[in-house]
Amino acid sequence: MITKIPLQLLECAPAPGNEPLARTSAQSIAELLKAVADPTRLQLLAMIAKADQQEACVCNLTEPLGLSQPTISHHLKKLAEVGLISRERRGTWIWYSLNKERWKQIANLFE
């Protein structure tokens, strides 16, 4: 005996090839999104992106945001921990730049 499946159930069935994002990838991207889900961090990222050669030093970021150097450094550290920015020591200062490869992981979610 052939059982007919109601049309409503067929409409709800997952489309072939439409698998969810792998759990490990989802966790990695969730960490990125958590890191940028802070107004100060978003401001810092925008300032770095607009800076000459897309890099900035803490000394260039404190005054425009009206925050102390330790506070800015804390936020930059969080962004660096998830790989959204890279750091390079130059003398006594650390310069930060965007890690575009890591940003592509976020962008790839929407392709």
Q: Where are the domains of the chain?
A: 55-111
pLDDT, tens only, 30-66: 888 999 999 999 999 999 999 999 999 998 999 999 9
For tokens 């999104």, what's the residue? Answer: 33
Distance in angstroms (rounded) separating the CA atoms of residues 83 and 38: 16
For tokens 């607009």, what's the residue? Answer: 50
Cβ partners under 8 Å of residue 38, min gap 6: 75, 78
Q: In which band, very low, low, confident or very high, does the pLDDT at 103 lie, cut at 50, 70 and 90?
A: confident
Mean pLDDT, the chain, as a whole number? 86
Of 52, 44, 97, residue with least CA distance to 74? 44
Is CATH 1.10.10.10 correct for 55-111?
yes
The percentage of residues in the chain with a pLDDT greater than 70, rounded to a whole number, is 85
The whole-model pTM stands at 0.77
